[in-house]
Structure 1
Amino acid sequence: IDPGTRQAIPAMPDSVWNAGGYYASRGTDELASDDGQFGVAFKYYAESLNATEFGLYYMNYHSRLPYASAEAGTYNDNPVQHPVSGVDLPFLPVSGPGAGFAAAYNPKYHTVYPEDIQLFGLSFNTTVSEWAVSGEVSHRLDMPLQINGADLLASALSGDPRSPLTPEYSEASTGETVDGFHRFDYTQSQLTFIKFFDKALGTDRITTVAELGYGHVWDLDESDGAIKYGRATTYGVTFDGVGDDKDGFTTTDSAGYRLAVKADYRNVFAGVDLAPSVAWSHDVYGYSPEPQGTFHEGRTGLNLALKANYLNMYSMSVSYTQFGGDFNPLSDRDYVSAAVGISF
């Protein structure tokens, strides 16, 4: 979109845009501090409560995942106007007013690793009728949520007034970082069930695992004009009326489940053990905060695998993985993998 006329610009090679000075370079990434992370955990074993182990823990940690952020260009302080509309331009072209300074004063982008995320958690682990049952509830204070990357770049690179981020970006001075995230409190809970079936269906052992999960973002505004979080940039911005402007973004609530089954066949022939397995994941409702993205409504995953082990020394495995669901960049990336190994 032309930032001056708000009209669609014909597609052109990147070389043309670069030659004209219409680009954003990558700035210096902001790495997290080497210190400031700590935690404490307490465990209590209650024999009288069906031999249940309880846990209580606290952590202060820095994000291990990167968040995209933008740097304001010089147009915030000393704008160059569009020759037709008079609208302030976010770029300095290589010709005309401001010529030659594009590389130094155009908007930039970089990644940030937010610090000081506080985590409180409760957990338990017990046995119920031959099922191993465990659960956890965790609450994060000031957890960063990634702003939709397409919206972030649209505000930084075009100053589009339709973007809810543009006012925040336009207040920044030249070179000032505009965080690509806002902080919210986030609660997540999960339940895990594990059971072994020995000598069942001709196997030596069948292992089954089921897991349920739920997440809740506190005080998240999901109204149409609000800032949107999450969703891959592949699916465009949230405000241009093109494509789906409403779905796929972080929601207040999200949930999903995971299932896995593995069968063990020992000494099937000549010292060879076989272990076929199947794993299935289904995100049922809502969209979790990015970049973690635990749940994406409608997203599915299927993994079929077979592992062979010879004399507990040599191994070989082959697997097929399939993805599905809307707003899932991996939905067209099914793949087959194979591996061999040796233990010594």
Structure 2
Amino acid sequence: MLKTLARLSLVAAGLGMMVPAQAVNFEYGGAEFQWNTKLTAGAAWRMEGRDVGKIGKLNVPGQQNLCSNRGGDVANYGPYDDDCLSLFGDPGPNKRLVNARGGYFAALMDDGNLNYDNGDLVSSIFKINTQLGGTWGDWTLKLNYVGFYDETNYNLDVKHTNTQYQPSSERRSDSIQGRSGLKGEFREAFLLRNFDIGDRSFSIAVGNQRLRWGEANLHLFNTLDAINPLDAILALQPGFNLNELAVPTGMVLLTADIVTNVSAELMYQYDWDTTRVQPSGTFFSSADPAGIDTYRPVLSLGQFPEDPNNQYIPALPFRLLSSSTRNAPVEENGRPAKDGGQFGLRVNWYAENLNDGTEFGVYFLNYHSRVPYFSIIEAQATCLRRNGIGDAVTSLAGCLAPQSAGVFNPYLLGNSNPAGEPLPINSSTLLLDYPEDIRMFGVSFNTTALGWSVSGEYSYRPNLPAQVLISDVFFAGYQQAFAQRDVTLGSSGLPPQVDALLGQLGIHIPATGAILPGAETFIPSFLTQYRGRTIANNDEYQPGEYVKGYERLKVGQFVINALKLFPSTLGADDVTFLAEFGFTHIIDMPEKGDIYFQGNLEHTHPSPGADCTGFAAGTNCNALDVVARINPTRMKDGFADDFAAGLRFLLQFNYSNFMNSGVNVKPTLLWFEDIYGTTIFPVQNYVEGNRWVIPGLQFEIGQSLNGTLLYQYFDGKDNVLQDRDNLSVSLTYSF
């Protein structure tokens, strides 16, 4: 999600897309004003077909009936009526899912992939970015407005390849249409006053402003530059301007010259804002629940179709007891951070006699997360828990008793009572969670060596939130919806009430039996074990309780870069080369096996799979308690690591008055290579094996007109954008 934003937004920085403009200068009331405006038109096209592995299994064309074709008609079952779950002891349904094309978890990240075909326009934008600056004595005013209209995304009909519970196409919601297609807002808006105390200079600025710290150029996450949230919507549009990347927020900024060659910045942020993630279904979106406020089948590893209107009908044997869907509502603003409590200090020292001048900085920042984490509200308790551990069969009889005792399933007896729901799966809620009070300490330097500009930084966060494996968070949030122990149907005998009800419905359980799996079989959670919130400890998460989806870790990051300008090289007036290396390390990271942290978005769960992966040798792979689990196959890799590193390069040639045309041309190449390890989600700089290469061309005609041509190439088996190569063009007029 945010790794995409980091890399794509840096294209603009590499291409130098901010060109000088002919500003409008005027005076009024003794104040001097400068007004700059940029008008941009741009378009982008998808240049690569979909990789079926990036699509949810039931969303792959031709596979919508892989696990069921009953749709919304309870009388229309088959040829499969099992949700690809092997609850009758037959491994076939799960094997069908494992062998099918597509990704297990991909249904929660494929909307943007499905909405755009190869060759489609993915954006066609017109944008205005206008800025007014004024000075009056010691006072400075700055106002900035950005507005855009993206015709492609404003009028887009979203596509659904699985039409069991939704149409093949429909209009986008007003919320998503507005965020992705038509929006305008004032961004920077602050007032600054310069003043002196004795022989020292000070300034104070109040309002919405940007504040950049640190020395990292081609890294964005976990750096010292953590004050402002980022705008993924503007950053991924054709013709993006670098000053649009950071979202200005309300703060008070005091700067001071303390002593000769020592300066300081003291900041208090009184306004918290989030990173603007890509809305669900836009071309670069890769985490559907993070950009939409709706229902999603979160308790699914490929088995359940998208069901926005909650029409899903459970398969056997769940249908015997339950009418609950497999959805959960997504609350986009579920746990926002508070506005106050964000503050920081930077102190700079310029050592003029060290290496012909070297600048050092020390930093402290206390801030709230600008990026969302996935947490969950624990589901309501199943009625199978009424009589405690070991007596779920008696509880089952109570669940299915006459209405006065709590009959729930309307498909069985035509009425309902939520208190009698044996599988209240849709009673959970997925939250976008923003942890507070992250502390950051850091140092930086900037100097020259052998004709190169060399700079670097190290940041340390003793309590940085790290996303727990998302599927494991979901499993933790549904423990109460399942019995504490397995309930076997058919082979071991059932209470008379249950036998009578099944006979009344004409439903016959095979002689081998079926199983209503308990939580420890169907959805075992490492997170609950790690925190001791287990049945054995008599301390489970209770219905409606908040289940935090992250753990705080000790995280450090180092970045170093070198920049050099080579004059008169390869026929160019000059060549700019920037190389940057960085690594992220985690101190005392918990061992895999105790808890797993999110690395990528395309896997299952590390518990044993229904295909017998993860079980000891000699296990009966057809046993009910082996095959009756939602995890199709054990996830073996793709988790976050305690160390990860990567390289970034920028190469730009500058040809002034190219071939006497009066046009300045700048061919550019950006190369990002993740060389080792995977960093914690969602603030990811590295996913091992990922590569991103961007050849580009910028041209300038005079002071007012410039354009760009970019091709973006993605590679890496775990790269969520591996199949979304694209070509973009833009033209900007400045005045």
- TM-score strictly above 0.5: yes
Distance 2:408 2:475 in 1: 18
Does structure 1 residue 340 correspond to structure 2 residue 731?
A: yes
Equivalent residue in structure 2 for 1:287, among 665, 678, 695: 678
2:594 maps to 226
1:152 maps to 473
1:53 maps to 359
Is 2:457–2:560's contact at 8 Å kept on the other side of the alignment? yes
Is 2:477–2:547's contact at 8 Å kept on the other side of the alignment? no
Structure 1's 326 and 222: CA in aligned 2 closer, same or farther, altered over 3 A?
A: farther
Does structure 1 residue 267 correspond to structure 2 residue 657?
A: yes
Distance 2:596 2:712 in 1: 31
| Cα offsets for 1:180-210 (capped at 9, x unmatched) | 1000110110111100011111111111000
Q: Which amino acid aligns with 1:34?
A: D
Using the TM superposition, give the Cα deviation of residue 132 of structure 1 relative to its aligned residue in structure 2, in angstroms. Answer: 0.3
SS of corresponding position for 1:304: strand
2:603 maps to 235
Consecutive unaligned residues in structure 2, runs of 5 or more: 1-83, 98-302, 314-322, 400-406, 480-518, 535-539, 614-631
1:321 maps to 712
| 1:1-344 paired onto structure 2 within 5 Å | 11=303, 13-15=305-307, 18-19=312-313, 20-22=323-325, 23-27=327-331, 29-50=334-355, 51-75=357-381, 79=385, 94-95=409-410, 99-100=417-418, 106-157=427-478, 159=519, 160-167=522-529, 171-223=540-592, 225-239=593-607, 240=609, 241=613, 245-268=635-658, 269-344=660-735
Distance 1:187 1:70 in 2: 28
Distance 1:34 1:200 in 2: 51
Distance 1:83 1:332 in 2: 49
Q: Which amino acid aligns with 2:458?
A: V
Structure 1's 130 and 5: CA in aligned 2 closer, same or farther, altered over 3 A?
A: farther
Structure with max Cα Rg: 2
Distance 2:639 2:680 in 1: 9
Structure 1's 84 and 209: CA in aligned 2 closer, same or farther, altered over 3 A?
A: farther
Distance 1:178 1:107 in 2: 11
Distance 2:560 2:381 in 1: 51
Using the TM superposition, give the Cα deviation of residue 231 of structure 1 relative to its aligned residue in structure 2, in angstroms. Answer: 2.6
Distance 1:149 1:55 in 2: 37
Using the TM superposition, give the Cα deviation of residue 173 of structure 1 relative to its aligned residue in structure 2, in angstroms. Answer: 1.7
Is 1:145–1:184's contact at 8 Å kept on the other side of the alignment? yes
Q: Which amino acid aligns with 1:264?
A: N
Is 1:21–1:93's contact at 8 Å kept on the other side of the alignment? no
Distance 1:111 1:150 in 2: 15
Using the TM superposition, give the Cα deviation of residue 326 of structure 1 relative to its aligned residue in structure 2, in angstroms. Answer: 2.5
Consecutive unaligned residues in structure 1, runs of 5 or more: none
Distance 1:106 1:5 in 2: 26
- Give the structure, 1 or 2, with the largest relative contact order (CA under 8 Å, sep 6 or more): 2
**Percent same amino acid among aligned pairs?**
31
Distance 2:445 2:475 in 1: 45
| Cα offsets for 1:24-69 (capped at 9, x unmatched) | 2224511011010000010011112111100001000111000000
Distance 2:334 2:694 in 1: 36
Distance 2:657 2:669 in 1: 21
Structure 1's 288 and 98: CA in aligned 2 closer, same or farther, altered over 3 A?
A: farther
SS of corresponding position for 1:210: strand
Query: What is the total number of aligned residue pairs between the two structures?
Result: 339
Structure 1's 98 and 217: CA in aligned 2 closer, same or farther, altered over 3 A?
A: farther
Structure 1's 231 and 76: CA in aligned 2 closer, same or farther, altered over 3 A?
A: farther
| Cα offsets for 1:282-309 (capped at 9, x unmatched) | 1111111110111111111100100111
TM-score normalised over the length of structure 1: 0.88
SS of corresponding position for 2:475: helix
Using the TM superposition, give the Cα deviation of residue 4 of structure 1 relative to its aligned residue in structure 2, in angstroms. Answer: 7.4
**Quick check: 255-264 or 74-83, which moved more?**
74-83
Is 1:256–1:284's contact at 8 Å kept on the other side of the alignment? yes
Q: Which amino acid aligns with 1:25?
A: P
